[in-house]
């Protein structure tokens, strides 16, 4: 059983599984968002978690003091994600019947005094937050390792947990993409959301049915590309950033045969059976054309299909193309992951002469 | 009865009246006065929609983030009394803090609080997205929030170096090497090799963005001082300013969101 879980946990298998789970969760959110579903999943999750934690190798990783916050985050996100589905399902069922959202009911629109209603809630939260921090601080000592030694690097050298999604992207992209461009796209994309999403519905209440594109896009990025990759980077990456199953001992001598091939090597050597051309742009022309087409030709094509036309009518050309470009940049990560797993593809464009590898 | 009599007496003293210029907040007039007349409470509206105070709607995550920011400021200032940001002293000061301060938990509060603040910031953004609260008229404030999120991560990142242990310098080395790969601005990034005039290299490891970040080519003492000042002075000032903007705009954009 543990062997099987170790085998499944490899991103090659767990990433598609997570994507499929995400699809069904979003599609059947009204089923997910019921108290019955929460009950059954807790009944399943709690014993499984205990069984996971009982394993000495997994226990060592999750009880590292610096990993405790991720456990807290996972539990909170799990519950709150269910909770938003629960609230959204209640509202969406009402909206189907032509009723307004619960947040808009007259008794919820009623105005209440800030003192005592809000001020007391805040006071309670301050006290609860203080207690929580003090208890956490007493239970877990802040770690301190050996003094800084610039001549000896620990293996693996991991960034803080909230950056491990970015560090995990380094498996698939060079640092200029994984560390600079894609994080920049995340920040710019987040700021752009309110200016792209002109859907007036779902402002100030929980709903999923009324804003499907926003929900699918954001939650895929948040749950799958951000949180899942953080979990992989934290729990499943050991020395040399090699994959280790949750129940696997971090053996420093684990050797993984990995030989990744560039697209240009596929083209010239494998398919055309000729030596690689001298000129680097000729050598990489296929990858360059494909990458340019992905960013420059695909958006207009998407704008010409019937769904794209409908969206352009709704939000206008400018918003549509900004959305599509941001979306394609986001999807470049899962695309690169899948290409790596299916074809052991290293770079689509490999121009080490310019430090430009894609 | 006696206690109530005493409380009434206290309320009638000149000292009490000089501090609280209104009676007990048990009627409409005084409830308005207590919020409007107190510098710490006056950012609140005097009355607000019921959905805005329901924990099931707001999760209180934004408020908790601010609370943790204050807790981090207090614990951070206390830590600064014990800490010198030099390669010679930094690590030893942390060891001394751990060994010579009885019942000391300030470093723990600061470290776990920093983790907690990242979590509450993310969950706050998650809630705001799920309720569509970034929609007009709150677009701008969402953007301010995203910048605050980035600054929260930068605060964590800069603070990570200060203990000056193995975890610190190598985590920062991993991060700083990303800066090296910035297109055109980092010496290992795409396009940097094009930026040269004859033999003169315009972007090298002695002037690129990583050099600016670390004040050197590797994580050394100048980087420690730089990160210390960014962590303790510069970023908190920017964050404090933006928090004021963020809260102000919550009020000016119509308070906590609710169905239109």
Q: Which of A35-44, B174-183, B216-225, B234-243 has the lowest mean pLDDT?
A: B174-183
Choose among A39, A17, A84: nearest CA to A231.
A17
Phi/psi class of residue A318: alpha, beta or left (left: φ > 0; alpha: ψ in -120 to 50)?
Answer: alpha
- If asked whether residues B77 and B39 sit together in one domain, one would say no
- If asked whether residues A281 and A336 sit together in one domain, one would say yes
- If asked whether residues B16 and B136 sit together in one domain, one would say no
Within 138-167 of A, beta carbons closer than 8 Å to B belong to 138, 140-150, 152-154, 157-163, 166-167
Give kind and range of the element (H or E) at residue A257.
Answer: none
A121 shares contact with chain B (CB less than 8 Å) = yes
Length of chain B in residues, anyone? 260
Q: Is residue A170 part of a domain?
A: no
- If asked whether residues A268 and A125 sit together in one domain, one would say no
- If asked whether residues B222 and B166 sit together in one domain, one would say yes
Q: Is residue A162 part of a domain?
A: no
pLDDT digits (tens, 9 = 90+) for B28-53: 999 999 999 889 899 899 999 888 88
Q: Is residue B245 part of a domain?
A: yes
DSSP annotation of B47:
E
Alpha carbon distances (Å) from A151 to A147, B95, B116: 12, 22, 33
Count chain A–chain B contacts defined by CB atoms under 8 A.
Answer: 279
- If asked whether residues B93 and B219 sit together in one domain, one would say yes
Q: Which residues of A touch B52 (CB under 8 A)?
A: 118
Residue of chain A whose alpha carbon sits nearest to that of B177: A175
Q: Which residues of B touch A136 (CB under 8 A)?
A: 108, 112, 116
- If asked whether residues B188 and B113 sit together in one domain, one would say yes
- If asked whether residues B76 and B192 sit together in one domain, one would say yes
- If asked whether residues A6 and A96 sit together in one domain, one would say yes
Q: Is residue B105 part of a domain?
A: yes
Q: Is residue A342 part of a domain?
A: yes
Within 174-233 of A, beta carbons closer than 8 Å to B belong to 174-176, 178-181, 187, 190-191, 193-195, 197, 199-207, 211, 214, 218, 222
- If asked whether residues A207 and A331 sit together in one domain, one would say no
pLDDT digits (tens, 9 = 90+) for B51-107: 888 899 999 999 999 999 999 999 999 999 999 999 999 999 999 998 888 888 999
Ranges of chain A with pLDDT below 70:
none
Nearest to B142 among A193, A214, A222 (CB): A193
pTM as predicted: 0.94
Residue of chain B whose alpha carbon sits nearest to that of A101: B259
Mean pLDDT on B123-143:
96
Residue of chain A whose alpha carbon sits nearest to that of B111: A142
- If asked whether residues B244 and B139 sit together in one domain, one would say yes
- If asked whether residues B95 and B15 sit together in one domain, one would say no
Check: CB of residue B197 under 8 Å from CB of residue B220: no
- Please give, rounded to a whole number of angstroms, the shortest distance from the CA of B208 to a CA of chain A: 14
The last residue of one of the domains, among A121, A142, A163, is: A142
Q: Is residue A14 part of a domain?
A: yes
For an interface test with B, the pick among A179, A233, A326 (most B C-beta atoms closer than 10 Å) comes out as: A179
CB-facing half-sphere around the CA of A289: CA atoms within 13 A = 7
Tokens encoding A65: 């003091």
Choose among A74, B53, B157, B89: nearest CA to B80.
B89
Check: CB of residue A211 under 8 Å from CB of residue A315: no
Q: Is residue A315 part of a domain?
A: yes
Q: Is residue A135 part of a domain?
A: yes
Q: Is residue B258 part of a domain?
A: no
Please tell me the predicted confidence (pLDDT) of residue A255: 76
Give B79's strand partners. Answer: none
Q: Is residue B260 part of a domain?
A: no
- If asked whether residues B176 and B199 sit together in one domain, one would say yes
Please tell me the predicted confidence (pLDDT) of residue A299: 93
Residue with the larger pLDDT of the pair B23 and A256: B23
- If asked whether residues B85 and B111 sit together in one domain, one would say yes
What's the number of domains chain B is made of? Answer: 2
- If asked whether residues A95 and A71 sit together in one domain, one would say yes
Q: Is residue B259 part of a domain?
A: no
| φ, ψ for residue A206, nearest 5 deg | -80, 125
- If asked whether residues B20 and B95 sit together in one domain, one would say no
Alpha carbon distances (Å) from A5 to A2, A245, B12, B114, B120: 5, 7, 70, 33, 31
Q: Do B143 and A194 touch (CB under 8 A)?
A: yes
Q: Is residue A133 part of a domain?
A: yes
Structural domain containing residue B9: 1-47
CA angle B215, B221, B227 (to 5 degrees): 60
Three-state DSSP at B202 gives coil
C-alpha distance across the termini of chain A, in Å: 38
What's the number of domains chain A is made of? Answer: 3
- If asked whether residues B40 and B58 sit together in one domain, one would say no
Q: Do A145 and B166 touch (CB under 8 A)?
A: yes
Mean pLDDT on B154-174:
93
Within 85-104 of A, beta carbons closer than 8 Å to B belong to 87-88, 100-101, 103-104
- Please give, rounded to a whole number of angstroms, the shortest distance from the CA of B17 to a CA of chain A: 19
Choose among A84, A61, A64, A81: nearest CA to A73.
A81
Structural domain containing residue A213: 2-101+202-241
**At residue B1, does pLDDT exceed 70?**
no
Residue of chain A whose alpha carbon sits nearest to that of B51: A108
For an interface test with A, the pick among B178, B209, B247, B256 (most A C-beta atoms closer than 10 Å) comes out as: B178
- Tokens 């461009």, residue located: A181
Alpha carbon distances (Å) from B245 to A23, B67, B199, B248, B249: 38, 17, 48, 5, 6
- If asked whether residues A97 and A208 sit together in one domain, one would say yes
Q: DSSP string covering B166-178, please?
A: HHHHHHHHHHHHH
Within 12-41 of A, beta carbons closer than 8 Å to B belong to none
The enclosing domain of B155 has a CATH number of 1.20.810.10
Choose among A152, A284, A101: nearest CA to B257.
A101
- If asked whether residues A22 and A61 sit together in one domain, one would say yes
A75 shares contact with chain B (CB less than 8 Å) = no
The burial class, CB within 10 Å (0-12 / 13-18 / 19+), for A272 is exposed
Q: Is residue A159 part of a domain?
A: no
Q: Is residue B257 part of a domain?
A: no
- If asked whether residues A16 and A131 sit together in one domain, one would say no
């Amino acid at each position: 059983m543990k062997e099987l879980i170790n085998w499944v946990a490899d991103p090659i298998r767990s990433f598609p599984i997570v994507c499929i789970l995400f699809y069904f969760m979003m599609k059947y959110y009204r089923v997910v968002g019921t108290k019955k579903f929460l009950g059954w999943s807790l009944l399943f999750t709690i014993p499984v978690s205990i069984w996971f934690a009982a394993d000495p190798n997994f226990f060592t990783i999750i009880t590292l003091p610096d990993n405790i916050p991720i456990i807290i985050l996972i539990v909170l996100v799990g519950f709150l994600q269910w909770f938003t589905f629960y609230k959204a399902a209640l509202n969406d069922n009402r909206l189907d019947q032509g009723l307004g959202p619960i947040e808009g009911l007259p008794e919820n629109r009623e105005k209440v005094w800030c003192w005592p209603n809000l001020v007391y809630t805040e006071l309670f939260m301050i006290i609860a937050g203080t207690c929580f921090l003090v208890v956490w601080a007493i239970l877990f000592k802040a770690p301190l390792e050996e003094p800084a030694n610039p001549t000896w690097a620990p293996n693996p050298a991991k960034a803080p947990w909230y950056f491990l999604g970015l560090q995990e992207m380094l498996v698939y992209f060079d640092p200029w993409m994984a560390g600079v461009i894609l994080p920049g796209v995340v920040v710019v994309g987040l700021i752009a959301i309110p200016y792209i999403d002109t859907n007036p519905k779902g402002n100030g209440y929980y709903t999923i049915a009324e804003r499907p594109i926003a929900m699918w896009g954001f939650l895929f990025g948040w749950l799958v590309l951000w949180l899942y990759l953080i979990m992989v980077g934290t729990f499943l990456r050991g020395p040399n950033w090699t994959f280790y199953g949750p129940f696997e001992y971090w053996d420093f001598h684990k050797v993984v045969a990995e030989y990744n091939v560039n697209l240009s090597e596929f083209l010239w050597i494998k398919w055309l059976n000729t030596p690689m051309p001298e000129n680097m742009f000729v050598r990489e022309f296929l990858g360059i054309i494909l990458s340019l087409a992905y960013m420059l030709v695909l958006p207009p094509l998407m704008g010409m299909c019937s769904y794209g036309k409908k969206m352009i009518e709704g939000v206008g050309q400018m918003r549509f193309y900004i959305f599509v470009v941001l979306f394609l940049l986001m999807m470049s990560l899962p695309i690169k992951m899948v290409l790596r797993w299916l074809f052991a593809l290293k770079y689509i464009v490999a121009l080490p002469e310019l430090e430009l590898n894609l | 009865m006696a206690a109530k009599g005493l409380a009434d007496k206290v309320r009638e003293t000149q000292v009490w009246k000089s501090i609280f210029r209104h009676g007990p907040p048990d009627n409409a007039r005084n409830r308005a006065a207590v919020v409007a007349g107190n510098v710490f409470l006056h950012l609140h509206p005097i009355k607000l929609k019921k959905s805005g105070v329901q924990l099931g709607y707001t999760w209180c995550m934004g408020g908790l983030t601010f609370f943790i920011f204050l807790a981090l400021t207090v614990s951070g200032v206390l830590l600064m009394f014990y800490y010198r940001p030099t390669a010679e002293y930094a690590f030893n000061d942390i060891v001394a803090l751990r060994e010579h301060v009885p019942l000391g938990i300030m470093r723990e509060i600061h470290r776990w609080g920093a983790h907690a603040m990242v979590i509450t910031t993310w969950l706050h953004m998650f809630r705001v997205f799920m309720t569509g609260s970034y929609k007009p008229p709150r677009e701008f404030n969402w953007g301010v929030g995203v910048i605050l999120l980035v600054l929260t991560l930068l605060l964590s990142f800069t603070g990570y170096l200060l203990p000056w242990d193995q975890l610190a310098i190598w985590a920062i080395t991993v991060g700083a090497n990303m800066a090296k790969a910035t297109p055109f601005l980092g010496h290992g990034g795409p396009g940097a090799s094009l930026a040269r005039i004859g033999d003169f290299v315009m972007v090298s490891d002695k002037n690129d963005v990583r050099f600016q970040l670390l004040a050197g080519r590797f994580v050394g003492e100048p980087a420690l001082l730089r990160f210390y000042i960014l962590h303790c002075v510069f970023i908190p000032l920017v964050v404090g300013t933006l928090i004021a903007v963020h809260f102000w705009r919550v009020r000016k954009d119509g308070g906590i969101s609710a169905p239109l």
